[in-house]
Amino acid sequence: MNAGAARHRPKGRGPMKGLAALTMAGSLSLALATSPSAAVSLNNTPPPDDDGSSTSSTSISSTTSNHDDHDDHHDRSLIAEEADRKCLPREFFRFRDFHPRNFYLPRTRFIDGPGGTMTATVRRQHRVYAEIEIERIKGSSIERPNIDRATLVRSLANNVNPLLAEEFVVEAGHDYTREISKGMYGNLWYRVFGYRVGFTAWRQVRNCTVRPVATGIANIPARVEGWRYWETKHPMYKGRRLSPR
């Protein structure tokens, strides 16, 4: 029996069967272990088109498009925030060198004496205006800076003296009487008080850069007026004697 069985048994098939069975068992285990993922992948994969191509790229393109839209919206938000941080263009002034300044009215200068009493009055209406002298700053791209007089005076009134004005009208009247010292000459001159002020005009652009554009002097009247009286030994005008007696 053993010899006959040995004659009919193919050589080498016994070990191969064991190896095949082991291989099949390992493959079956691997298939069972990966079957859920494979099922999910198969369920999510759309059927091929008639030409055999797959439409799975549609879902990928849609996802990419949504991501790009989100990035665009984020970029626009950053641009809007950057725009909000920009400065509004504007001009402003800085002032220096304040000095009192008298605006003397024409035809209101009187001299009398020696001694006695003198009386003067304003006989006509006068207007006194603010005067601005502008110099362009070296290196500025603006050949003739446009300085708004009203804005300059308003800034001065807010920072220096609320009585400062762009224009002041002196009405007729305001009589004045004064006793002159013995042997002296009396002098009267009507004036409007004010200031002589140095200023620099600055400009702020949209990127918040600030630079000077002009400098100058402003003579600004105040809403205050009155007579000035002084005495001299001789009748004088602008430092020169008018008469020997």
Mean pLDDT in each 10-residue stretch from start to end of the chain (245 residues)?
46 46 42 42 48 46 53 61 67 84 93 93 91 70 64 82 86 91 95 90 80 85 93 85 74
What is the residue type of 29? S
pLDDT of residue 138: 59
Q: How far apart are CA 195 and CA 160, in angstroms?
A: 10
Domain contains 69: no
pLDDT of residue 71: 60
User: Residue 74: how many CA atoms within 13 Å on its side-chain side?
Assistant: 6
User: Residue 134: how many CA atoms within 13 Å on its side-chain side?
Assistant: 16
Domain that holds residue 178: 92-241
Look at the chain and report how many structural domains it folds into: 1
Closest Cα partner for 176 from 191, 188, 184? Answer: 188
**CATH number of residue 99's parent domain:** 2.170.15
Domain contains 174: yes
Domain contains 36: no
Domain contains 58: no
Domain contains 196: yes
The 8-class DSSP code of residue 130 comes to -
**Where does residue 2 rank: exposed (0-12), middle (13-18), buried (19+ CB within 10 A)?**
exposed
Count CB-CB contacts under 10 A for residue 159.
13
Domain contains 218: yes
Q: Tokens in use for 23?
A: 């291989």
Domain contains 24: no
Domain contains 4: no
Q: How far apart are CA 95 and CA 97, in angstroms?
A: 7
Q: How far apart are CA 98 and CA 160, in angstroms?
A: 9
Q: How far apart are CA 211 and CA 84, in angstroms?
A: 21
Model-level pTM?
0.56
Q: Tokens 């994969």 appear where?
A: 45
- CA 62 from centroid of its chain's CA atoms: 44
For 60, 78, 111, 152, 187, the CA distances from 229, given in Å and listed in that order, are 96, 69, 10, 32, 5
Would residue 238 be called left, alpha or beta, if left means φ above 0 and alpha means ψ between -120 and 50 degrees?
left
